Chain A
Amino acid sequence: MASIFDEDLALTKICGEFIDLTDDVNLVFCEAIKQYMCCQMNEYDNYIDQIRNLESKGDVIRRQTESRLYTEKLIPESRGDLLGLIETTDDIIDETKNTALLFSVEIPDIPLELRNEFVSLAKICTEAVNEVLVAFRIFFKSPESVKNLIQPVYDKEKLADKQAAKIKRLAFLDKNLPLSQKMHLRYLAHHVDCIADRAEDLADRLSIAAIKQTIKA
């Protein structure tokens, strides 16, 4: 099947760059969380700087792409779908940056027994994002393949919910922790879990956009 970008290679390239950048943010986030849990704060701060830079670059690319979609009157029938996909991808970047910043700003005290649990949660969320980015890339070339590629995103999102619930349960069962610290741990688990929710949002949009493309073809 033909790509919706067949006639505009430059736009395909910009979208590819945006996906690459989201992938980088995703990978850096997972490494950053591992460092935080090992109390390697210098390393952690370096990762935070990287995420900030990538996010600013992402905003520029998003705005350029949006303006290009309109000014050059490109693929008018798919323009709205593509705008929605780009904005939802940008939401993943924003959520990831804000969550990484939470750890840096609030320097939460994570009990030893919960550190690996947080790393596992971050890994699952990273996998969810990775799966949806694979589907997004394929969408440009073969929209009919998207359906099979997004199921793993939903599976990972459910797994992330489960892992976040496990952390919250463990925190609230711990008789030695004050209530405020339990609430802090719940808050952090919720925010990391939200990254998988944003991946799910993109999967939902991709699924509809892919169906529309398949029908048009």
Chain B
Amino acid sequence: MKPLFGRTKTLEQKSADFLDVTIEASQVLLTGISHYLNGATEQFEDDLKQITVLENRGDNLRREIENQLYTETLIPESRGDVLALLENIDNITNQCKQILMELSVEIPVIPPEFHDGYLHLAEKSVKAVEEVVSSTRSFLNFPLMIEHSLNKVYFWESEADRLSETLKRKVFRTTGLELSHKFHLRYFALHIELLADKAEDVADRLAIYSIKRSL
């Protein structure tokens, strides 16, 4: 099976850049959460600035790719699928930024006994993102490899679900915390878990698009 963009090299490069931005955003998210938990406020605010720049860059690249696909009438048969795919991947970068922004705005007090729980949850969600980006690269360049990496996305998403549930159970069973504080902690676990859900959304689309391409 041929690469999706064939000889349109600029489009291929822009798509690769767009996926790199998604990966970078997920790495900055991990560092940002770690800085926040360690009370490294200045570094955390730098992470937030960096992720905001990445999010804007991702938006610009997505729009450039979309414009090029339409104005140059490229891959008309798969254009709709590629557009929906890009928008869903963009949601991942947006979610990464949203999590850091919410931490910065709401400055939740996270008791030390939950730090590992949040870090591990973020790591699993980021693994789901890494795998779905790898699946997308396969879809664009070498579709035969896609099934193997899609399976990994589903695995990390269910791991993130499991860790989030464990963390929330621990929070709600901790005595001495106000109920409102428990809600706040639940909210952040939920939003980090949502990152893996967004990776799963992309994986579901890729599964269908890759079947369509193989026909």
Report if B172 contacts A (CB, 8 A). yes
Report if B175 contacts A (CB, 8 A). no
Q: How far is the CB of A55 from chain B (nearest CB, A)?
A: 11
Q: How far is the CB of A85 from chain B (nearest CB, A)?
A: 15
The closest CB in chain B to the CB of A94 belongs to: B197
| With known contacts A63-B207, A184-B183, A70–B212 Cβ distance under 8 A | yes
Report if B152 contacts A (CB, 8 A). no
Report if B1 contacts A (CB, 8 A). no
Report if A73 contacts B (CB, 8 A). yes
A106 to B165, CA, bound (A): 10
Report if A214 contacts B (CB, 8 A). no
The closest CB in chain B to the CB of A183 belongs to: B183
A66 to B205, CA, bound (A): 11
Cβ of B168 and Cβ of A67 under 8 Å apart?
no
Q: Kindly identify, within residues 152 to 205 of chain B, every residue whose CB is under 8 Å from any CB belonging to chain A.
A: 165, 168-169, 172-173, 178-180, 182-183, 186
A184 / chain B contacts, CB cutoff of 8 Å:
179, 183
Q: Give the interface centre of B172, B173, B179 by most chain A CB atoms within 10 Å.
A: B179
Report if B211 contacts A (CB, 8 A). yes
The closest CB in chain B to the CB of A179 belongs to: B180
Report if B109 contacts A (CB, 8 A). no
The closest CB in chain A to the CB of B179 belongs to: A180
Report if B105 contacts A (CB, 8 A). no
Q: How far is the CB of B100 from chain A (nearest CB, A)?
A: 25
| With known contacts A105-B165, A105-B168, A70–B183 Cβ distance under 8 A | no
Per-position binary interface string of chain B over residues 61-82, scored 1 when its CB falls under 8 Å from any chain A CB and 0 otherwise: 0000000000000000000000
| CB<8 Å pairs between A and B, sample of 23 | A63-B207, A67-B207, A67-B208, A67-B211, A70-B211, A70-B212, A70-B215, A71-B215, A73-B215, A83-B208, A105-B168, A105-B169, A106-B172, A106-B186, A107-B173, A178-B179, A179-B180, A180-B178, A180-B179, A180-B180, A180-B183, A183-B183, A187-B183
Report if A181 contacts B (CB, 8 A). yes
Q: How far is the CB of A79 from chain B (nearest CB, A)?
A: 10
> Interface size of B by Cβ–Cβ distance < 8 Å?
16
Cβ of B168 and Cβ of A106 under 8 Å apart?
yes
Q: Chain B: interface secondary structure?
A: helix
Q: A178-B179, A181-B179, A184-B183 are in contact. List 5 more A-B contacts (CB 8 A).
A: A101-B165, A106-B168, A106-B172, A180-B179, A183-B183
A105 / chain B contacts, CB cutoff of 8 Å:
165, 168-169, 172
Cβ of B165 and Cβ of A71 under 8 Å apart?
no
A183 to B179, CA, bound (A): 10
Cβ of B207 and Cβ of A66 under 8 Å apart?
yes
The closest CB in chain A to the CB of B209 belongs to: A70
A73 / chain B contacts, CB cutoff of 8 Å:
215
Cβ of B208 and Cβ of A66 under 8 Å apart?
yes
Cβ of A70 and Cβ of B208 under 8 Å apart?
yes
A19 to B164, CA, bound (A): 29
A107 to B180, CA, bound (A): 14
Cβ of B172 and Cβ of A107 under 8 Å apart?
yes
10 tightest A-B CB contacts, nearest first: A180-B179, A70-B211, A180-B180, A106-B172, A105-B168, A105-B169, A71-B211, A67-B211, A107-B172, A70-B212
A101 to B178, CA, bound (A): 21
Q: Kindly identify, within residues 54 to 107 of chain A, every residue whose CB is under 8 Å from any CB belonging to chain B.
A: 63, 66-67, 70-71, 73, 83, 101, 105-107
